[in-house]
Amino acid sequence: MKIGFIGLGIMGKPMAKNLLKAEYQLVVHDINPSPVKELATAGAEAASSAKEVAQKADVVITMLPNSPHVKEVVMGPNGVLEGGKPGMIIMDMSSIAPLAAKEVAAKAAEKGIDMLDAPVSGGEPKAIDGTLSIMVGGNKEVFEKCKGLLSKMGTSIVLCGDIGAGNVTKLANQIIVALNIAAMSEALVLGAKAGVNPETIFKAIRGGLAGSTVLEAKTPMVLSGNFKPGFRIELHIKDLANAIDTAHEVGVPLPLTSQAMEIMQTLKVDGKAGNDHSGIVQFYENLAKIEVRK
């Protein structure tokens, strides 16, 4: 089975590398030539376009920023569908709007091409070590064909329903992550302002009900003032915008999500859109006029 991989950014590059380590034949493409060269040096075949990737692959994985990028790469000129053939599978692992996933899947079906939407959670560290959580939407038979491939990039792989269900699940995930980070930030800033060492607070609460994967992953970053992105604030803004739009389409108010969105928008205006989303703490630090550090 030959795999195409389009989109070699913070997440896509390590995911593609894990497929190479698993000895899959890989053909890759990105608008940035640097990661393409890096993957080619590691053993992948470089392609000049999404169309060329599709011409050479049995499964094409896309890992792109948002819905418009996926639509352009798959359905646009020189795109995946121009090079694709009946029986090929598109696996979009981007985090996009569920309706966009359904639109792309419908166009693919017209050419006899199956599609899964399979967004991921875990950020760069889990992309590197191959332990991502993968939320999949699509046909069960197609999912079973791709499960072995997915297992080289993630450890939790769940079929959530029909096409689009993977992205609905990812939006739910992103709501919970955003609110967890905001709550963590609020609590640590309170502790610091009240004169209690925030690292001590972390150690004291991590084993109780407040403990979480978010707390374990993000508190050390906050305590060291390291906001190098594993997942950028601007990308979380994109996900929350998709969550709010989807919620409004189906009639679900999201008051807490909307508040988290405004916190992130404030940080974006302040020039911090490229920070890791653990940088949400800076919003609270600015309000309280104190930094949470070791």
Using one digit for the tens of pLDDT, what is the confidence trace for 113-168?
999 999 999 889 999 999 999 999 999 999 999 999 999 999 999 999 999 999 99
Using one digit for the tens of pLDDT, what is the confidence trace for 40-87?
999 999 999 999 999 999 999 999 999 999 999 999 999 999 999 999
Q: Please, are residues 121 and 231 in contact by the beta-carbon 8 Å criterion?
A: no
What are the structural domains of the chain? 2-162 (3.40.50.720), 168-288 (1.10.1040.10)
CB count in 10 Å sphere of residue 215 = 19
CB count in 10 Å sphere of residue 267 = 22
Token look-up 């950028």 returns 232
Instruction: Indicate the pTM of the whole model.
Output: 0.93
In this structure, what DSSP letter does residue 278 have? G
Q: Which is catalytic among the residues 126, 170, 218, 238?
A: 170
Query: What does the mean pLDDT of the chain come to?
Result: 97
**Is 51 known to be catalytic?**
no
Phi-psi region of 43 (alpha: psi -120 to 50; beta: other; left: phi over 0): left
d(CA 287, CA 219): 19
232 forms beta bridges with: 276
Using one digit for the tens of pLDDT, what is the confidence trace for 183-218?
999 999 999 999 999 999 999 999 999 999 999 999
* Helical spans, DSSP H, in 2-139: 12-21, 33-42, 50-56, 67-75, 80-83, 98-110, 123-129
